[in-house]
């Protein structure tokens, strides 16, 4: 793909986390900034500091609306960044916080979000150690945008690498998927649907730690399926390892509200963002023990086995049903739900 | 000050870097997020990693217009963050980059800024090791906002601490002040003034390194006077050390264009932002040698002695002229130049 094919302007889909985002990053950004750390495209950059491996990650949050059932932009901004560390096997240590605030934002909303940030960082056991505040004119923002950068230390016992993955490895997810994306969609009030649903935004490190306690090397790969959902992260993985990934359609954990909303709207729940779940590839032998431990941790009660890695078809994610049907699951194309994080 | 006195909504002045920003941070943010690293309010947070001291800093850039003489938002975003490290005595090692792009931004502008980021990071000898891209709807942004986070390693020989400052220490600046702020003001075309002026955006580490080579402990304190200008950083210092700071009015280096624009607009050049200068407090004995070394480094040719620390008046910055007059120089109040970085 060459640069002319990118299109003439930035579109919302470039921020979807799906195919357009990938194209933009791979065609426009990576070639210009190339270095080996960046090219790994992992959730967090890992750099060595003497004997320790430091993990660093940054994310901007532009969720609309700012407040939604189960959370708000401040909570999301903390959990989003610490979770990128957690799925990189790193224990979160500190956060940097940068705010872009629109002039005219009511002070009580600003203060509410500072409190949400304080509460979420205390819950995730990280301190906010630095930051910045910028203000833009009314009409040049949308209340507030938050960028967080999280620093963590990689657990020295863990060994996450797609190169360790073999056919026969199993795929688990920590709980029901799509809660966050559908919650945001409904919170916008543009769709006449009522559901008793809330965002799953939560810190994932306690779940990851429980798996390390079973066996640090049992987990070979982990991602948190935010923008683009489970389908996008598993497609990235299957392409990288050149193996097939098979999901057991009926095992994918879905709340009734999410299933219903997706059916009505014609969305695939596998494309809907979570903000407090991970997908992991684990060793088959330790599968039940890992799930048992995960289910003891608050937030991990819904952890289940959803699929496995197979030799074929290489680079493809398939969802198979117990009735014998199978469908190809692709990355997210376009952006049905912009600004969900 | 209590929280009711903050006002009912966020105003542009809360982003000025001057008094309103200080009030917002001290009243609304610090009490909620308190910890000792954050409370130092330094340009970069310093954390220990085994034998090394790591410096981390984050900044959002919302400059308008995106392109201006001497630079653009991409260049500014790299230099702004690496300079916060440099004035903390840390050699920049890596950058994380987070983009918030407005839908409809022409692709060529996006690509131009990626190139500006690549060029500036290569010039500053740092790699972009991670990032994020979000897109907001047309009308909810202003082209693009960039947040950069920079990681550096503090030079183990340097010892920056306001506690080392004594009356008799001297104040230097690395070159003419106010170039960036006035360049941005003129680039907006709202004022009928023409000037052959460009932003001073440049990486400062080479200048800091040259001072370390003279004597690592000769420099006791350093800041880059961005938003709020030289007046704001020196007021912060004088309050912290409870000593007086005297500036020699005629020694303050100013280009004719900046002087002229400030006179016409009724602005104090000491309040105007620089993006490639530092102010430092240095030992009197090494003053000439430091200036000599600085002037050998590209970008340091205009380094001069501009003032000194005195016992009195405590907490006050005075500008004295050779004719015997003196005026009190306060922090920036309000925001005459919003979104200059």
CA gap A231, A27 in Å, rounded = 22
What are the pLDDT digits (tens) for B53-78?
Answer: 999 999 999 999 999 999 999 999 99
Q: Which residues contact B154 (CB under 8 A, 6 or more apart)?
A: B46, B52, B53, B54, B55, B88, B89, B90
pLDDT confidence bin for B1, thresholds 50/70/90: low
Classify residue A143: in a domain, yes or no.
yes
Question: In this structure, are residues A47 and A40 in contact, taking their beta carbons and an 8 Å threshold?
Answer: no
Q: A154, A172, A196 — which closes off a domain?
A: A154
Using CB atoms and an 8 Å cut-off, which of residues 129-168 of chain A contact chain B?
A: 129-137, 139-142, 145, 147, 149, 151
Task: Please tell me whether residues A320 and A209 are part of one structural domain.
Answer: yes
Task: Please tell me whether residues B182 and B305 are part of one structural domain.
Answer: yes
Average pLDDT, chain B: 94
Query: Using the 8-state DSSP alphabet, how is residue B168 labeled?
Result: T
Question: In this structure, are residues A245 and A129 in contact, taking their beta carbons and an 8 Å threshold?
Answer: no
Q: Which residue from B minimizes the CA distance to A37?
A: B129
Are A129 and B99 inside 8 Å of each other by CB?
no
Tokens of B183: 């360049």
- Predicted pLDDT at B38: 87
Task: Please tell me whether residues A135 and A74 are part of one structural domain.
Answer: yes
Task: Name every chain B residue with its beta carbon within 8 A of the beta carbon of A151.
Answer: 47, 56
Q: Give the ranges where chain A is alpha helix by DSSP (H).
A: 19-24, 30-33, 36-39, 73-86, 107-123, 179-187, 205-214, 229-241, 256-265, 287-296
Q: What is the mean pLDDT of residues B39-58?
A: 88
What strand order describes the sheet that includes A244-248?
A219-223, A279-282, A170-173, A304-310, A244-248, A317-320, A326-328
Strand partners, B100: B134, B145
Q: Of B32, B49, B149, which has the smallest distance from its Cβ to A50's Cβ? A: B49
* Other beta carbons within 10 Å of B203: 24
Percent of chain A with pLDDT over 90: 84
Percent of chain B with pLDDT over 70: 99
Secondary structure of residue B95 in the 3-state scheme: strand
Question: In this structure, are residues B151 and B93 in contact, taking their beta carbons and an 8 Å threshold?
Answer: yes
Task: Name every chain A residue with its beta carbon within 8 A of the beta carbon of B135.
Answer: 10-16, 338
What are the pLDDT digits (tens) for A202-244?
Answer: 999 999 999 999 999 999 999 999 999 999 999 999 999 999 9
What are the pLDDT digits (tens) for A106-162?
Answer: 999 999 999 999 999 999 999 999 999 999 999 999 999 999 999 999 999 999 999
Classify residue A2: in a domain, yes or no.
no
Ramachandran class of A23: left when φ > 0, alpha when ψ lies in -120 to 50, beta otherwise: alpha
* ipTM, interface predicted TM-score of the complex: 0.95
Task: Please tell me whether residues A320 and A232 are part of one structural domain.
Answer: yes
Classify residue B128: in a domain, yes or no.
yes
- Predicted pLDDT at B55: 95
- Predicted pLDDT at B173: 98
Of residues A203, A228, A162, the one with CA closest to residue A80 = A203
Tokens of A304: 């289940």
Q: A117, A137, A154 — which closes off a domain?
A: A154
What is the number of domains present in chain A? 2
Task: Please tell me whether residues B115 and B59 are part of one structural domain.
Answer: yes
Task: Please tell me whether residues B182 and B303 are part of one structural domain.
Answer: yes
- Predicted pLDDT at B36: 86
- Predicted pLDDT at A1: 61
Task: Please tell me whether residues A72 and A191 are part of one structural domain.
Answer: no
Where is mean pLDDT largest: A12-21, A328-337, B182-191, B254-263? B254-263
Question: In this structure, are residues A77 and A117 in contact, taking their beta carbons and an 8 Å threshold?
Answer: yes
* Domain residue limits at A63: 43-154
Classify residue B55: in a domain, yes or no.
yes
Average pLDDT, chain A: 94
Q: What is the mean pLDDT of residues A272-290?
A: 98
Classify residue B12: in a domain, yes or no.
no
Task: Please tell me whether residues A175 and A324 are part of one structural domain.
Answer: yes
Classify residue B130: in a domain, yes or no.
yes
Question: In this structure, are residues A93 and A126 in contact, taking their beta carbons and an 8 Å threshold?
Answer: yes
What are the pLDDT digits (tens) for B85-99?
Answer: 999 999 999 999 999
Q: What's the Rg (C-alpha) of chain B?
A: 19
Query: Using the 8-state DSSP alphabet, how is residue A156 labeled?
Result: T
Task: Please tell me whether residues A149 and A189 are part of one structural domain.
Answer: no
Task: Please tell me whether residues B64 and B169 are part of one structural domain.
Answer: no
Classify residue A25: in a domain, yes or no.
no
Q: B93, B123, B154 — which closes off a domain?
A: B154
Q: Give the ranges where B165-299 is alpha helix by DSSP (H).
A: 179-187, 205-214, 229-241, 256-265, 287-296
The CATH number that applies at residue A106 is: 3.30.1330.10
CA gap B3, B135 in Å, rounded = 33
What are the pLDDT digits (tens) for A60-116?
Answer: 999 999 999 999 999 999 999 999 999 999 999 999 999 999 999 999 999 999 999
Using CB atoms and an 8 Å cut-off, which of residues 81-110 of chain A contact chain B?
A: 93-94, 96-107, 110
Classify residue A291: in a domain, yes or no.
yes
Task: Please tell me whether residues A200 and A140 are part of one structural domain.
Answer: no
Task: Please tell me whether residues A70 and A102 are part of one structural domain.
Answer: yes
- Predicted pLDDT at A6: 86
Is the pLDDT score of A56 beyond 90? yes
The answer to whether A267 contacts chain B (CB < 8 Å) is no
The CATH number that applies at residue A310 is: 3.90.650.10
């Amino acid at each position: 793909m060459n640069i002319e094919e990118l299109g003439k302007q930035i579109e919302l889909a470039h921020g979807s986390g799906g195919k357009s985002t990938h194209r933009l990053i791979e065609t426009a950004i990576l070639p210009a900034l190339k270095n080996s750390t960046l090219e790994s495209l992992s959730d967090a950059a890992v750099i060595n500091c003497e004997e320790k491996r430091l993990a660093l990650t940054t994310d901007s949050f532009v969720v609309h609306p700012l407040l939604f059932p189960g959370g708000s932009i401040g909570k999301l901004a903390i959990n989003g960044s610490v979770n990128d560390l957690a799925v990189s096997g790193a224990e979160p240590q500190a956060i940097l916080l940068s705010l872009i605030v629109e002039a005219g934002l009511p002070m009580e909303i600003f203060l509410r979000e500072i409190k949400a940030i304080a509460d979420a960082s205390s819950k995730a056991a990280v301190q906010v150690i630095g930051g910045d505040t910028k203000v833009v004119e009314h009409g040049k923002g949308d209340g507030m945008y938050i960028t967080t950068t999280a620093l963590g230390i990689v657990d020295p016992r863990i060994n996450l690498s797609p190169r360790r993955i073999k056919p026969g490895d199993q795929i688990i997810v920590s709980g029901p998927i799509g809660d966050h994306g559908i919650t945001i969609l409904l919170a916008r009030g543009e769709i006449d649907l009522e559901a008793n649903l809330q965002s799953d935004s939560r810190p994932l490190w306690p779940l990851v730690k429980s798996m390390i306690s079973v066996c640090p090397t049992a987990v070979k790969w982990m991602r948190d399926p935010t923008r683009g959902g489970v389908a996008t992260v598993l497609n990235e993985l299957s392409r990288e390892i050149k193996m097939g990934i098979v999901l057991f359609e009926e095992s994918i954990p879905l709340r009734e509200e999410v299933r219903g909303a997706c059916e009505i709207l014609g969305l695939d729940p596998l494309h809907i963002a979570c903000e407090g779940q991970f997908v992991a590839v684990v060793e088959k032998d330790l599968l039940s023990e890992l799930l048992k431990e995960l289910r003891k941790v608050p937030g991990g009660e819904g952890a289940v086995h959803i699929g496995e890695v197979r030799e074929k078809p290489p680079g493809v994610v398939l969802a198979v049903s117990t009735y014998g049907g199978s469908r190809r699951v692709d990355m997210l194309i376009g952006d049905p739900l912009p600004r969900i994080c």
